[in-house]
Amino acid sequence: MPKTVTRPDRDGTHRLAFERNKKKIYATQTVCGICGKPVDFSYKFPHPLSPCIDHIIPVAKGGHPSDLANLQLAHFWCNRQKSDKLFTPVEKQTEPDTDAALTLPLSTDWAAYRSR
């Protein structure tokens, strides 16, 4: 029988720190770090728009499991679509771009994303 590996933010040494930082994020953030849209805290799991915590650098890719700098608010659906992929969010532009051909989207369509 294969050995089951537990993640440190779920059952291991980082569980308490992760839960403490999750409460901080829920109290201070209101926008999904992946799609940039508001998160409605009235939705509860397993609703696709329910709030959850996303690891910016996934634990599977070496990201810290409980460091506040590696955690962000996300929609459950956005986080599932992102999975364990690395993603650099596009910064919001302060001035509108006059050249429409150079305007980039502010979010990523994870359904169309393919990992290598």
Q: Output the tens digit of pLDDT for each of the chain's 116 residues.
A: 566 667 777 777 889 999 999 999 999 999 999 999 999 999 999 999 999 999 999 988 899 999 999 999 999 999 999 988 887 655 543 444 445 445 555 555 656 655 54
Within-domain flag for 40: yes
pLDDT of res. 105:
54
Residue 64 structural domain: 1-81
Within-domain flag for 107: no
Q: Cα-flanking dihedrals φ and ψ of residue 88, to 5°?
A: -110, 110
DSSP letter (8 states) at residue 38: B
Q: Considering its fold, how many domains does the chain have in total? A: 1
pLDDT of res. 94:
44
Classified as helix, coil or strand, 16 is: helix
